[in-house]
Amino acid sequence: MIEVKSLEFEYDSFCVRVSFDVKEGEVLTLLGPNGSGKTTILKCIYGLLRPKGCVLIDGKDFHEIPIKERAKVVGYVPQTHNPPFPYSVLDVVVMGITPQLGLFEVPKKEHYEKALEKLRLLGIEDLKNRPYTQLSGGQLQLVLIARALVQEPKILLLDEPTAHLDFKNQVQILDIVRKLTRSEGISAIMTLHDPNLASLYSDRIALIKDGSIVAIGKPEDVIREDLLEEVYEIPIRTFKLNGYRFILPACHPS
């Protein structure tokens, strides 16, 4: 379980102020416009930014844990990533395990096996020998997700995990995240831009505007015309299908 308590962070002209928690096995999606603070919130939780307030994981202050130890607990998939060296895909995924190794320990066969298992899970085993610098945006995203999963973290932070993915892969990744969180008792916090996918694949959604939570709750309680119009400032219509609530912009193309 992760508890984000009175988290506060300020850039020159922007401020984030949020409190929320995510239980074991639960997926919380941060949904909100560009620049509303979603990435900032994830970076504050992971400790890349130094916020006020605290982040408790199973009751322990996460920011008090040494950086190397933190990677054993939390897997972070960033929104953007520029691969520095042409490592092979398999090596990049194995690097996710490095925090669990001793000082002079090198990854062993079992670690490579684990990495291959995650590549298989994400349907990209055929990329294992490809240089990481020569991947498409979507392939890169899948590799970063595999690298986060190989750590077998308790908490997963995913910043726009579907951003570069095709329609099938978007659904596949969200399905994997949802299933893994349930089967492994992981708490996942992700950001998405598609309210319909958020509605389908989240246990709860937090609507974010100007660095604050406008509403948080089950998709059916949050994916509401009035709340979404407040957040996105466009006319919106919702409709129900198979028990899920979906949205469409109510703008007419001119």
Q: Which is nearer to ligand ATP, 36 or 151 (CB)?
A: 36
169 interface partner picked from ligand ATP, Mg ion, none, CB below 5 to 8 A per type: none
Q: Which is nearer to ligand ATP, 26 or 160 (CB)?
A: 160
Interaction residues for ligand ATP, span 47-106 (CB under 6 A): 79
The region of 10-18, 94-102, 113-121, 179-187 touching ligand ATP under the rule CB under 6 A is: 10-18
Q: Which residue has the tokens 């703008």?
A: 251
Residue from 5, 14, 64, 248 in contact with ligand ATP (CB under 6 A): 14
Distance from first CA to last CA of the chain, Å, rounded?
48
Q: Is 39 in the site for Mg ion (CB under 5 A)?
A: yes
209, 34 contact by CB (below 8 A): no
Q: Smallest distance, Å, CB 64 to Mg ion?
A: 26
- Report the residue closest to Mg ion, judged by CB: 39
Residue from 36, 199, 202, 238 in contact with ligand ATP (CB under 6 A): 36
φ, ψ dihedrals at 67, nearest 5°: -55, -45
Q: Is 38 in the site for ligand ATP (CB under 6 A)?
A: yes
* Side-chain half-sphere exposure of 81, counting CA atoms within 13 A: 27
Q: Which is nearer to ligand ATP, 62 or 232 (CB)?
A: 232
Q: Is 35 in the site for ligand ATP (CB under 6 A)?
A: yes
Largest CA distance in the chain: 64
213, 204 contact by CB (below 8 A): no
**Is 197 buried (19+), middle (13-18) or exposed (0-12) by CB count in 10 A?**
middle
The residues facing 9 across adjacent strands are 16
Q: Which of these, 231, 247, 239, 202, lies nearest to 20 by C-alpha position?
A: 202
Q: Is 141 in the site for Mg ion (CB under 5 A)?
A: no
Residues that bind Mg ion (CB under 5 A): 38-39, 79
Binding site for ligand ATP (CB under 6 A): 11-12, 14, 32, 34-40, 79
